[in-house]
Every structure is written in C-alpha cells, then in structure tokens.
Structure 1
Amino acid sequence: MKSIRYTLITGASSGLGKEFSVQCAAMGRNIIMVALPGSNMASIAESLALEYKIDAKVFEFDITDGILLIEKLNHIIENFEVDFLINNAGIGGTASITESSLEAMDRILQVNIRSMVSITQMLLPHLLKHQKSYILNVSSMAAFTPIAYKTVYPASKAFISSFSLGLREELLDTNLSVSVVYPGPIMTNSGVSTRIMGQGAKGRIGLLTTSEIVRIALKQTKLNKAIIIPGFWNKINHRLMGILPLETKLRIVSRAVKKEIAIK
C-alpha cells in the first residue's frame, strides 16, 4: 500500500476542500480526506473513487484535539505515502471583538494556526523522502491587511502566509516545494453569500468560483509558484493595497466588513 502516493486534504468536506478533493481525484491522484465527524465524507469518497478510479480514504475527527491529531497523523504516516499536503481547513467570522466569545476566537487560532503547523511539521520528514513533493497552504486576501470586526481571522491568515514563505525558503534546496494561495471572496455557504452580496459591487470584486480557485492553485503549485493570487481583480487589488498607507486601507476594508454585521 505504501508504494501508492496520496494527497492529504484538510477541511475536505465542503467549499475549497471538497473541490480540492474532486480536482485531485480527477487528476488521477489518490486522496486522504480529513474533516469533522458527521461530514458525510464516506459517500463523497466512494463517489470519487468510483468515478475517477482512484483510492480515497476518509478520516473524520476534530483537528483541534491535539492528542487525537497526533494519533491520526501517526497512523497516516505509518500506512500511506503522502507526497502532497493541502492545508485547507480554516474558520473565521465577523463580529465586534467585545461580542465574540473567548472560545470562538481560540478555535480560529487552533484551526487556522496550531493545527496547520502541527500537521505540517509532523508530515515534513515524510514529504522530504519523496523525489518530488508539495505543500499548499490556504491563506486569504485578508492576510494582506488588518481588518476591524474580523481581528483574529486576518491575523491568522497573515500567520499562514509568513509561515509558508519562511518554510519555503528554509526548504529551498530540497525536493519539497511550498506554496501559499490567497483566495478572495468565496460563496461557500448561504450565510457567506448573503454577506458578500450585501457589500455590493465592492464585495463582489475578485469573486471566483471554488472550482476556478482550486484549478489555479493546483496548477501553480505544480509549477512551484510561491505566492498564488487567483483572479485578475484580486491581483490588481493586491497591488493597489500595497500602494495605500496602512491606515487608509485598514479603514476602507473595515468599513466594508462592518456592513456584514448590519446584515446579520
């Protein structure tokens, strides 16, 4: 079994994670799908395996459970050859920090930062054994500026960006390529879609489908690209935001996000 190569995808039950699973399977890659319990992953994996003639494994557990995470990763390392890691799992939210619970903020940090670092560090020796291997970490356009009413989320995505690029430089002389993708707005569910549409034209700038984001991310990861910004308008937005003073872009973005609270 260990001669077969796998792509490990976290947060694989919906949104970008599900699309990463579909497109990797369509490329003929065997997949290991990690998601929360009760995500109906078994039926998804079975469908992908039948349609694309690949092997699809499912692990349903909470990655914020540190002990369980180590246990599951050790099992995966012992039984499967992973040559592509996609750290996609992530959560966020929009609310005044005074109205956010400590538990909600801590969970963002656990999912977006601690679990991502733990998974990456544990799999690194395993990934480095292969002739060619890849890590793709999912950040966000939010990583490029602080944002009021989302304070913890963009900070966590900035961490992912910094961590990924630092790791890439550290591994520059190895066979392991590290990439980081910065998606813009994504209509992952009805709640998010309502908030995006409520922001008007500004909220919809850079809006891409999950399939297009994943297609670009996978293609450029295979080309060893370090920084991946899907979509023409997101690239333009990144350049413009790079020119503006920090206080100006912080105010512009925060005012747009504040509208989400009114929509809730």
Structure 2
Amino acid sequence: MPNNNYTLITGAGSGLGKEFAIQCARMGRNILLIALPGSRLQSVADNLELEYPVSVKVFEFDLSDSDTLKQQLQHITAQYDIDFLINNAGIGGTSSITSTSLERIDDIIMLNVRSTVLLTHLLLPHLLKHRQPRIMNIASMAAFTPIAYKTVYPASKAFISSFFLGLKEEMAHTGLSVSVVYPGPIMTNSHTSRRIISQGRKGQMGLLATPDIARIALKGTLKGYPVIIPGLMNKINHALMQLLPLSLKMRIVSREVKKEIPFGLSV
C-alpha cells in the first residue's frame, strides 16, 4: 500500500536541511521542502525523485513573513497529509550586540522563534490526525549556555528547547512524539566553516559531518527520544559543563566564541 504521507522540512535548501531531505528520501519518505526564494530547491527535488521512489514538492517563501506563512500552509495542508515536521530553519552568527543592527536581531527572533512556533501551531491539527505524528526541532549546544558575542542566537535556541519539551509534555496523551536535537558545530557554509576553524582545536571538538548529524537526529527522533545530542564528544562536553558554575562556564565558552567575530554575521 503506497504511503501518501509527507515529511515537511524547513530550511531545506542547503546544509543540514538538505541532508535531512536526502536521508528521508532514502528511507522512502515523501517530502515537502521549504526554503527562501532562490534556494534552487527544484533541482534538489528533481534529483531526489530521480534517485528514489518518492514524491518531493517544493515551496520557496520567507517563513518569517507571517501572512505568507499562513497562506502557504493553508495551500500545503489542503493538498498534502503531513505526519512529520522537521523544524530546521534558523540563522545565527557572531558579533558584539552593539555592532549588530536591530534588523538583524529581529531577523533571528522572527525566524528562530516566532515563525517556528507559528508553523508548529498551524500544523498541529494536521499532525494529530495521524497515528504516529512526529516533530523534530533543531536547537544547538548553544542552548545550554548563555554566550557573549552571540547573545540572541543561544537565547533563541534555549527558547526552542524549552518550548518543544514543554509541548511534548502537553501533548503526551495524544501520541505526538516531539524531539529536540542539540548539534555541536556544523560546517554548513563558508562563513560557519571559517568561524569554527578560527577557534582552533577547542572550537572543533564535537564537530561531526552533516550526514552523520542528520542520521543520528532522524534515528533518535524515530525512536521517540525527546533529547538528542549527536556525537560522543558533545555528550561528554555537555555533562562536564553541567558541573561548572554558570559564571565560569559562560566565561570559558564566550572567550572561545570571541575568536569568531572577524568571521561572524550576527549575534
């Protein structure tokens, strides 16, 4: 019997989102890809449909535009049954708060926080129609510690962690599985690669290949794990950092992050 359900992936144009699309297609999952206009998503979809027996649909729009998001989701949910949501879209970077524009700060909050919550809220009724609905949310190891020179980004990821773990508890009686993934450093593009390299060996601890992060995240989500930290070094680092006083932990992490500033795009 053919599977007519779809997995919706945001931020699917490159990096981790694109890798989720590849691995979901490999599993035989139909996919809905969302990214910004100009992301060349159609070529990704065409290649996946050529290689795997799945249906891949493309939607290019700005998630942070609330009116457009609502209109697009009405269109999408009227045509496709969604039983798996992967909230992957997000932006960040490194700079001092005083040298970051208000527009850039607003962009981070609108995409990482507001649009993610709005998208999830709008899709919940459709997810809950299915027998085993799932939501995967990409947070970050940065969610565990306030960080100078990033300030807004880790705060947004801490929000994602808190919101979705709370949602998991609230939805426990419905059968909805909610997972939060906390990746370490990811070399998704030239900017992030330069930032990671600038930190030296300490900054590269816990660095995993994008396909490995996607594989671990999908495996854990499909098993119903609420908290997923990809990579042994990241698990060890998280456990050790929990033993330190907050002030010391912030000072250690912020000192390393400061090295990224010449290569950063935002806070």
TM-score by length of 1: 0.98
CA contact (8 A) 2:94 2:263 kept: no
Q: Which residue of 2 aligns with 1:169?
A: 169
Could you list the per-position Cα deviations for residues 208-261 of structure 1 after superposition, in whole angstroms to 9, with x for gaps in the alignment? Answer: 011000000000101100000000000001101111110001000000000111
Q: Percent identity?
A: 63
Q: Does 1:216 align with 2:216?
A: yes
The RMSD of aligned alpha carbons is 1.1
Matched, 1:23 2:23: yes
* Equivalent residue runs for 1:1-264 within 5 Å: 4-262=4-262
Structure 2 gap segments, 5+ residues each: none
CA distance in 2, matches of 1:164, 1:254: 26
Q: Distance in 1 between matches of 2:3 and 2:73?
A: 18
Runs ≥4 in structure 1, deviation > 2 angstroms?
none
Higher relative contact order (CA 8 A, sep 6+): 2
Deviations 1:171-202 (A, max 9, x none): 11112100000000001111211111111110
Write the distance in 1 (CA, Å) between the matches of 2:261 and 2:91.
17
Structure 1 contact 7–32 (Cα < 8 Å) conserved? yes
Residues 123-181 of structure 1: CA deviation (Å, up to 9, x unaligned): 00110110111000000000000000000000000000000100000011112100000
Say if 1:131 and 1:244 are closer, same or farther in 2 by CA, change over 3 A.
Answer: same
For residues 61-118 of structure 1, the C-alpha deviation after alignment (integer angstroms, 9 at most, x for no partner) is 0011110000001111111000000000000011010000000000000000000000
Structure 1: segments with no counterpart, 5+ residues: none
SS of the aligned residue for 1:173 comes to helix
Residue 3 of structure 1 and its aligned partner are, at CA, apart by 7.0
